[in-house]
Structure 1
Amino acid sequence: MAETDDSDKTEEPSQKRLDEALQRGDVVKSQEVNTWFVMAGATLVLMSFSGGMSRDLSTTMRGLIANGWQIRVDGPALPHLFMTIGGEIIAAIGLPFLILIIAAAAGNFVQHRLVWSVQSLTPDLSKVSPLAGLKRQFSMQAVANLAKGLVKVVLVGAVLAALLWPERKHMEALVYADPAALLPFTASLALKLMGTVVAMLAVVAAGDYLFQYRQWYEKQKMSLRELKEEFKQSEGDPTIKGKLKQIRQQRSRKRMIAAVPKASVIITNPTHFAVALQYDRGMPAPICVAKGVDALALKIREIAGEHRIPIVENPPLARALHATVEVDQPIPPEHYKAVAEVIGYVMRLRRAVARR
C-alpha cells in the first residue's frame, strides 16, 4: 500500500488515533518545559537550602581538616571514615537533590501522562539514514530549535548583562574583600540571576510547548482514506454490516411466519398492514406475534387463511399497532380498548359458529 502523503492529511485526528499515538510513546514533549522545571527547582533549592547545605558541609569539612591529624585511616577505620563523611554529605544534599529529581520528573508529567512503551526503543533505520537525517536538519523542527537557541542566547545574555553591569564595581571590590563575604554576595547575585532566567524561560517554555503541540497535532491528522479504514475497523465493513442486517431480517421474518398460526386474530389495513395478535385467557394483554407491510402482510394473511385465523379490517388500528408495538411484546395500554373490542367480536363470532 502506498504511503499517505502528508498533504492529504486534512482531517482532524480521531480519539482512537490519539490513543494509539500515546500507546506507542508518541507524545507532546517540549525540552524547554523540562529545562524550566529544572531551573525553577534549582532556584528553589538555592533560595531555601543553600544556607543549610553550606553550614552542614562547612562543619563537616572544618571538622575533617581540624582533626585530620588524629583521624585513623588504617584497617577498617578508612571505610568507616568514608561512610561517616558520605552519610553527612548525603544528609546535607539529600533533600535538595530529591527536589531536583521531582522537578525533572514534573517537567514530563505536566506535558503528558505516564506512558509505558517499548516501541520508542525499537531500532529505526530511518534514524541512521543519511537522507532522513538531512531532511531532519532542514525541517521545521530544526528551524524552530535554531530560533529557540538564538532567542535564549540573546534574551538571557541581555538580562545577565543588565543585571551584572550595575554590580561590576562590587565584583571588582571582591578581589580585596574578606573571603567570608564572598559566599553571601555570590549567593544573592546567583539567586537574582536565576530568578530572572526562570521568569524568562517560562515565556520560552510556554511558546515552545504550544509549537510542539501544534506540530504533534498536525502529525496526527488523517486523510479521508485513513478515516474510512478506521471506521471499517471500528464499526465494521458497511457491506458486511448490510449483509448481516439482511440475514437478521430474513431470520426474523421466518420466525414471524412460523408464529402466525398461534395468533388469535389478524388486524389488517386491509392490504398494506397486517398485525397478528395472540390472546389467551389469563394473559394480562394481547401479544404481537407477527407484523408486516405489503408482501409480508400478504404472506401473514395467506397463512392466517390456511389456519382459519380471523382477519379483521381496521385500518387505523392496524397502522397504530404496526407503529407502536414490537414483535413478541404486549400491545401498549392506549390500544387496550380498541383491541378488546376486536377480540370480543372474534370470540362472539367463534361462539356463534360453534353453536351451528
Structure 2
Amino acid sequence: MADQASDGGQEKTEEPTQKRLEKSKEDGEVPSSKELFVFSTLLTGFFLYIGIIPFIFSIIFEWSSLFQFSGETSLQDYVFNNLKAGYALMYWKAVLFALPLFVIVILTQMTMSGVINWSSSALNLKASRINPFSGLKRMFSMKALVEMLKAIGKVIFLLGAAVFVMFTQMDKLLTAPATHLVGGISRLGDVFLLLIIAFLLILAVMAMLDVSWQFYQHNKKLKMTLQEVKDESKQTDGSPEVKAKIRRMQMTAGSRAKQRREAMENVPSATAIITNPTHFAVALKYEVGTAGAPIILAMGRGYQAQEIISIGKDAGVTVFQNELLARALFFAGQIGEEIPTPLFTAVAAILGFIYRLNKGDAVDEPDVELPADMLFDENGKSIS
C-alpha cells in the first residue's frame, strides 16, 4: 500500500474531486489506451479496404499503365513522366486513407477522455523525465510489467490467429496460383479478409480489457487522502471558521435589515424626527407624563433617512433639523431602546420646544449643546 500513501502516511482512499480531475486534464494527464488506438485504426482500415474492393482492378490497371511504353518519345521522358504520375497516385491514395484514420484517432481519444485536451504543460521539461533513477523506477514498475505482458499476449494471440486462419484456408492458398489472375486475387482477398477479421476480434477483446485497466490506473493515480480533500475544500470554499463567521455576519445584517423594515412601520406614531436635514434621520417617541426617556423608533441614513422623513411628514410628525444631534442619535443609539443618557438634556429641550410649538405657543428654537464625546462626523468618527 506504499504507492497509495501520501507524504503524511494517509492512504489515498477518497475519489478525486472535480477540481483534481480538471487539473489532471490541464496537465495532459488523461486516460489513453494504445490497444484501443490499434483496434480503431485497424477497423477503419478494414472498412476502407472493403470500400475499395470494387475499384481494386481499376487501381491495378492504373498502376500497370505506368509500366507501358509506346516508343513515341524517348525512354527517359517516359520514365520521368511515369515516376511523377506514380508519386501523385501514391500520394492521393495515401491521403484518402490517412484522413479517415486521423479522424478516428481524434474520436478514439474523445471516447477515452470525453474531450480533446490540448495541454502545453505536458510538453514542459521535467527533471523526472531525464532522471536515470526515475527511468529505472518506471522500467521496473507495475505499469511496465503490464505493458510487457500485453505485448507478449498480443504477439501470441495474433500469431496464433494467423496460423489458425492459414491452416483452415490452406486449400485456397495452394490452389490460387493454378487459377487465372482474377480468381487468384479473389481467393487471396478472401483469406486476407478472414485474417483481418480474426485480428479485429482479438484486438477488440484486448482493447476492452486495456481501457478498463487504464481507467482504473488513472483513477487510482488521482485518488486523494482525506486530508487533501479537506484542504481543497478549504481553498475552494474557505475554512469552516471563516464560513461560520460570514454566516453570522449575514444573519446579523439580515436581522438588522428586518428590524429596520419593521421600524419603518412605527414612524407614523413618532413624536418627532431629528434630521441633519437629509443624510440622517432618527424618529423618537415620548409620551408626556410617562417614566423613562424617549424611545428610538427608527433611524437611517441616505435613502432610508429620506424615506423616514417622507413617511413622518405624511403622518404629520414634526421634523426638527439639528445636524450634530441627528448624528449623535444615529451613531450612539439603538432602535427600540432609549436614547443615550448623555443626550437626555438636548432631546428634552427639543421635545419641549416641539410640544409647545404644536400647542400654538410662540417659542424660540432652543440652542442645544452636546457633550464632547457625542460629537461625530458623517462617518461616525469623533470630532471632539
CA distance in 1 between partners of 2:27 and 2:85 (Å) = 46
Larger CA deviation: 172-181 vs 23-32: 172-181
2:31 pairs with 10, 20, 28, which one? 28
Q: Secondary structure at the match of 2:339?
A: helix
SS at match of 1:110: helix
Residue 98 of structure 1 pairs with residue 99 of structure 2: yes
Task: State TM-score, norm by structure 2.
Answer: 0.62
Does the 8 Å CA contact 2:13/2:225 hold for their aligned counterparts?
yes
TM-score (norm 1): 0.66
The amino acid across from 1:86 in the alignment is Y
CA distance in 2, matches of 1:115, 1:184: 44
Aligned twin of 1:320: none
Structure 1 residue matching 2:169: 3-state secondary structure = helix
1:145 paired to 2:158: no
List aligned pairs for 1:159-174, cutoff 5 A.
159-174=161-176
Residues 156 and 200 in structure 1, CA contact (< 8 A), matched pair in contact too: yes
Q: Which residue in 1 is equivalent to 2:88?
A: 87
Q: Is the 8 A contact 2:106 2:116 kept in 1?
A: no
CA contact (8 A) 1:37 1:106 kept: no
Partner Cα distance (2:181, 2:66) in 1 = 20
Contact 2:173 2:187 in 1 (8 A): no
Q: Classify the secondary structure of the residue corresponding to 1:303.
A: coil
d(CA) in 2 for partners of 1:282 and 1:186? 104
Rate the CA distance shift 1:185–1:78 in 2: closer, same or farther, 3 A.
closer
Give the whole-Å Cα distance in 1 for the aligned partners of 2:255 and 2:101.
71
Structure-2 separation of matches of 1:174 and 1:93: 29
Decide which structure has the larger Cα Rg and report it.
2
Q: Hey, what does 1:302 align to over in structure 2?
A: 338
Looking at structure 2, the residues matched to 228 and 79 of structure 1 have their Cα atoms a distance apart, in angstroms, of: 72
CA distance in 2 between counterparts of 1:123 and 1:179 reads: 57
Selected match of 1:37 from 31, 36, 40: 40
Q: How many residues align?
A: 294
Is the alpha carbon distance of 1:243 and 1:166 closer, same or farther for their aligned partners in structure 2, counting shifts above 3 Å? closer
Greater Cα shift, 29-38 or 185-194: 185-194
Q: 1:67 to 1:129 in 2, by over 3 A?
A: same
Indicate how the Cα distance of structure 1 residues 27 and 92 shifts in structure 2: closer, same or farther if over 3 A, else same: closer
User: Which residue of structure 1 aligns with residue 231 of structure 2?
Assistant: 229
Q: Check conservation: 1:46, 1:191, Cα contact below 8 A.
A: no
What amino acid is aligned across from residue 194 of structure 2 in structure 1? K
1:14 is aligned, of 14, 17, 23, to 17
Contact conserved, 1:37 with 1:107, CA < 8 A, in 2? yes
Q: Which residue of 2 aligns with 1:115?
A: 117
Q: How far apart are 1:265 and its partner, in Å?
A: 6.8
Say yes or no: does 1:46 pair with 2:66. Answer: no
Quote the offset at 1:206 in angstroms.
Answer: 1.2
For the aligned residues, what is the CA RMSD? 4.3
Aligned-residue sequence identity (percent) comes to 21
- In 1, the alpha carbon distance for the partners of 2:84 and 2:253 equals 82
> For 1:262, what is the secondary structure of its paired residue?
strand
Quote the offset at 1:13 in angstroms: 1.1
In structure 2, list runs of 5 or more residues that go unmatched. Answer: 261-274, 287-295, 300-307, 316-332, 346-353, 361-384
> What is the aligned partner in structure 2 of residue 184 from structure 1?
186
| Post-superposition offset of 1:121 | 1.0
Give yes or no for contact 1:24–1:120 (8 Å, CA) kept in 2: yes
SS at match of 1:8: coil
Distance 1:133 1:64, change over 3 A: same
CA contact (8 A) 1:56 1:92 kept: no
In the other structure, the counterpart of 1:339 is none
Change (3 A) 1:110 1:235: same
Change over 3 Å in CA distance of 1:167–1:254 after alignment to 2: closer
Separation in 2, partners of 1:70, 1:177: 36
Letter in 1 for 2:138: R
Counterparts of 1:184 and 1:6, CA distance in 2: 66
The equivalences for 1:1-356 within 5 A come to: 4=7, 8-52=11-55, 54-67=56-69, 69-70=71-72, 72=74, 81-112=82-113, 113-241=115-243, 262-263=282-283, 280=312, 300-303=336-339
Indicate the residue corresponding to 1:341 in structure 2: none
